[in-house]
Structure 1
Amino acid sequence: MDRKPLKDYLDAIEAAMRRGDATEHTHRPALKTLIEALAGPGVQAVNEPRRIACGAPDYVIARGTVPLGYVEAKDVGANLNEVERSEQLGRYRDSLGNLILTDYLEFRWYLGGDLKLTASLPRPGRDGRIRWNDAAGSEVGQLLGQFLEADIPLAASPAELARRMAALARLIRTLIERTFSGEGEAGELHGQLEAFRKVLIESLTTAQFADMYAQTLCYGLFAARCNAPAAGFTRQSAAGALPKTNPFLRRMFNAIAGPDLDDRIAWAVDQLAELLARADIAAILQDFGRRTRQEDPVVHFYETFLAAYDAKMREARGVYYTPEPVVGYIVRSVDALLRRDFKLADGLAHAGKVKLTRPKAQGKGKETLETHKLQILDPATGTGTFLYAVIASIRAQFEGNAGAWPGYVAEHLLPRLFGFELLMAPYAVAHMKLGLELELSGYDFASDQRLGVFLTN
């Protein structure tokens, strides 16, 4: 091992301390230089005060946009045992797979939340001198080398992936709240909150906005990763995965996951994207689907994620999905009842219309309008399981007549298919899932069309 970077680092620490006015901020340039020297070309140790003020670790170590690890630094002589027990470090250990805690002389390395190695450089003597020690230098060099080359443990099960996604979602939620409070009323997040209030929920609070934002980022990236290869997967590439079923949702996801995402939040979202890129999503979902007996584990995984993210919210909002065999039975039963008792020969696919009269919206008198006789509404649609089954049931009647399907969807399906949902993440997933299903069936959304799935009570 080349001892020079570590000896130069120790000399810089000693010189700063001998001046008598050193703080933890004083030593940051020296640690940045050390890490970049040991890592080699292409790796940066980013120390961004704006991020730190909002709750980010002191250093994000990255190769390009790919995060390699994080460093939380305290002043020389700080009690690292106390820091280790703090809420802040607990949050970092839960959410960041590769982490170092240091007081610039002692280094503690955590991988997957577990303490792996501890090593220390010599401390100043009574004369203020720090005397080099080959053995100590070698131990710290090895620790930093393993940190920089760490193979972050993959999420190997649905429960583990949900836990790690949830930890990052909570971290992102905190970052959003702190960034919001620190940016001023003209800030980007304030503008997005007003857009959410205008288009989605007028009474949305700042805390609800941060929660909605974090959940949408996390589960939106997860859903995008389920339809994308691991190679080259980033938050920027995921932003284009939403179908054209909801123009506002597409713009929103591009704003909160695209290249213009606030730097104080982006580092954590990049960590989430890296977690998803490294996870064996196909194997995890196959195992999850096998155990839950669900045909579409992408949709039903949200229940597992929400249980890890906020179990009380899951219970309060009733996020417990109906098993797909039950969904199928209910949809087939409704179709049969429509045919038998209501004499609609096409069942759920019935496209007949009726004329209704109603008071004019403005002025006196009444107006006549024509609307479909059979309307379909799921008042608690979640991720769209029932609507998905309805579409599949109707689509089956077009076997052998695929050419008529796109026209039917535009004229007789979208105008009468509706869903209401309270939570932003399942709302986004419902749009993604149903939109992708319709596109795969041969239907292409026009620019002025959208699914009738709404975020509302």
Structure 2
Amino acid sequence: MDTTARNLFSAYLRRVQDELQSGNATERTHYSALKALVESIQPEVKASVEPKRIECGAPDFIVTRGNIPLGYIEAKDVGAPLLKAERSNQLKRYFASLPNIILTDFITFRWYFDGNLTDESKVGRVGRDNRIKADADGVEKTYRLLTGFLEKEYPSVGTSGDLAERMARLAHLCRETIVSTFNVEDKAGSLHAQLEAFRDNLIPDLKPEDFADMYAQTIAYGLFAARCECENPKRFSRREAAYLIPKTNPFLREFFDHVAGPKLDSRIEWGVNDLVELLRRADMAEVLREFGKRTRREDPVVHFYETFLKAYDPKVREMRGVYYTPEPVVSYIVRSIDHVLK
């Protein structure tokens, strides 16, 4: 670790110490210090914090390079028991869905990849007077930990089962975020407008909780279908997905224009971006080849939906209820049949 990096950590620890000694610090007090540290280690990286997004279930920090998600940071108050936090339902949901995440109390850093603890470090020790005694070895290890976290690539997927499981876990997280956002959103908000659009075009008496299921599934499987049509995975994005959805049905076209554009609620956007990155990195040719060989079905894009839904919720798959299964949406996306939703 060079002198510049040491100076970054010295500045970080001084700032956290000053905030602790103010006497009224909370975990949010230290957000800006950690944000500055992460962004200074790799200047092209952005660590963003949005309170409204956090309140609806997102981790505290979303770390990106350009539009590509790199990972997440969940922060607790200084001295908080991280092992207890690790066992919480909140962290279990994150570990199941998000491959690259750090849990920290701003002094101790625990890095997890694919739900497994990869590394742990501690930059120092907080005394009774709230002074921080830095640990040189711990600081260097934390620098390596954060650098590794920022450089870790999302997993590449090459089997239909693995892709379905990862898509389903992210769709679950999206569903939970949609429910939370819907409950706090004004009735004139975008999700309420989307619910009315679903009622007008699909199911007149659709309930909000079932709408959240349909919304999450439609995003996930719509992105999957679009990815199957994308010849250059490096170009795959929310905008590219919207472009690849056929124009023969205005409802779905408008839905994906909404998903791809600036109108998508930022409280939901992060989960959608993770789905895009998962699919962008998937070896789709191998996924479809392996799926077709294993199931001996002629149209793997259509029938993969069964595999996805089984991973998403086996009970829903058995029910086959129209409230829970947006099959008209899936059939339309894949086959471009303009009368399916009429």
1:432 aligned residue:
333
**Matched-pair contact (CA < 8 Å) for 2:69–2:274:** yes
**Matched-pair contact (CA < 8 Å) for 2:213–2:324:** no
Partner SS, residue 433 of structure 1: helix
2:34 is equivalent to residue 26 of structure 1:
no
2:339 aligned residue:
452
Partner SS, residue 16 of structure 2: helix
2:264 is equivalent to residue 261 of structure 1:
yes
**Matched-pair contact (CA < 8 Å) for 1:197–1:204:** yes
Greater fraction helix: 2
* TM-superposed deviation, 1:191: 1.4
Q: 1:299 aligns with which of 293, 298, 302?
A: 302
Counterpart AA for 2:128: R
Partner SS, residue 233 of structure 2: coil
Q: Which moved more, 1:155-164 or 1:28-37?
A: 155-164
Q: Where do 5+ consecutive residues of structure 2 fail to align?
A: none
Give the Cα–Cα distance (whole angstroms) in 1 for the partners of residues 244 and 270 of structure 2.
21
Partner SS, residue 133 of structure 2: coil
2:70 is equivalent to residue 68 of structure 1:
yes
**Matched-pair contact (CA < 8 Å) for 2:60–2:73:** yes
Q: TM-score by structure 2 length?
A: 0.95
**Matched-pair contact (CA < 8 Å) for 1:216–1:424:** no
Q: 2:153 aligns with which of 124, 142, 151?
A: 151
Q: TM-score by structure 1 length?
A: 0.72
Q: 1:57 aligns with which of 51, 56, 59?
A: 59
> Are the structure 2 counterparts of residues 424 and 260 from structure 1 closer, same or farther at C-alpha, using a change threshold of 3 Å?
farther
**Matched-pair contact (CA < 8 Å) for 1:5–1:34:** yes
Partner SS, residue 239 of structure 1: helix
Counterpart AA for 2:273: D
1:373 aligned residue:
none
Q: Show structure 1 runs of 4+ deviating over 6 A.
A: none
Counterpart AA for 1:83: A
Q: Where do 5+ consecutive residues of structure 1 fail to align?
A: 319-420, 436-449
Partner SS, residue 231 of structure 1: helix
Partner SS, residue 302 of structure 1: helix
> Are the structure 2 counterparts of residues 259 and 239 from structure 1 closer, same or farther at C-alpha, using a change threshold of 3 Å?
farther
Give the Cα–Cα distance (whole angstroms) in 2 for the partners of residues 171 and 127 of structure 1.
40
Give the Cα–Cα distance (whole angstroms) in 1 for the partners of residues 31 and 258 of structure 2.
32
* TM-superposed deviation, 1:253: 2.1
Counterpart AA for 2:334: K
Give the Cα–Cα distance (whole angstroms) in 2 for the partners of residues 275 and 181 of structure 1.
28
Counterpart AA for 1:427: P
1:368 aligned residue:
none
1:399-428 CA distances to partner (integer Å, 9 max, x unpaired)? xxxxxxxxxxxxxxxxxxxxxx66554322
1:227 aligned residue:
229
1:344 aligned residue:
none
Alignment of 1:111-122 (within 5 A): 111-122=113-124
How many residue pairs were aligned?
Answer: 338
Give the Cα–Cα distance (whole angstroms) in 2 for the partners of residues 282 and 203 of structure 1.
39
Counterpart AA for 2:203: I
Counterpart AA for 2:40: A
> Are the structure 2 counterparts of residues 264 and 169 from structure 1 closer, same or farther at C-alpha, using a change threshold of 3 Å?
same
1:345 aligned residue:
none
**Matched-pair contact (CA < 8 Å) for 2:124–2:138:** yes
> Are the structure 2 counterparts of residues 244 and 422 from structure 1 closer, same or farther at C-alpha, using a change threshold of 3 Å?
farther
Q: 1:103 aligns with which of 102, 105, 115?
A: 105
How large is the RMSD of aligned CA atoms in angstroms?
A: 1.5
- Percentage of matched positions with identical amino acids: 51
Q: 1:184 aligns with which of 183, 186, 193?
A: 186
> Are the structure 2 counterparts of residues 16 and 422 from structure 1 closer, same or farther at C-alpha, using a change threshold of 3 Å?
closer
Counterpart AA for 1:314: R
Give the Cα–Cα distance (whole angstroms) in 2 for the partners of residues 144 and 110 of structure 1.
11
Counterpart AA for 1:86: S
1:94 aligned residue:
96
Give the Cα–Cα distance (whole angstroms) in 2 for the partners of residues 13 and 246 of structure 1.
54
* TM-superposed deviation, 1:225: 0.4
1:172-228 CA distances to partner (integer Å, 9 max, x unpaired)? 001111111111111111111112212221110000110000000000001100110
Give the Cα–Cα distance (whole angstroms) in 1 for the partners of residues 9 and 79 of structure 2.
19
Q: 1:138 aligns with which of 130, 137, 140?
A: 140
Give the Cα–Cα distance (whole angstroms) in 2 for the partners of residues 425 and 236 of structure 1.
22
1:110-131 CA distances to partner (integer Å, 9 max, x unpaired)? 1122111111111212333212
Partner SS, residue 204 of structure 2: coil
Give the Cα–Cα distance (whole angstroms) in 2 for the partners of residues 31 and 235 of structure 1.
29
**Matched-pair contact (CA < 8 Å) for 2:101–2:113:** yes
2:317 is equivalent to residue 314 of structure 1:
yes
Partner SS, residue 67 of structure 1: strand
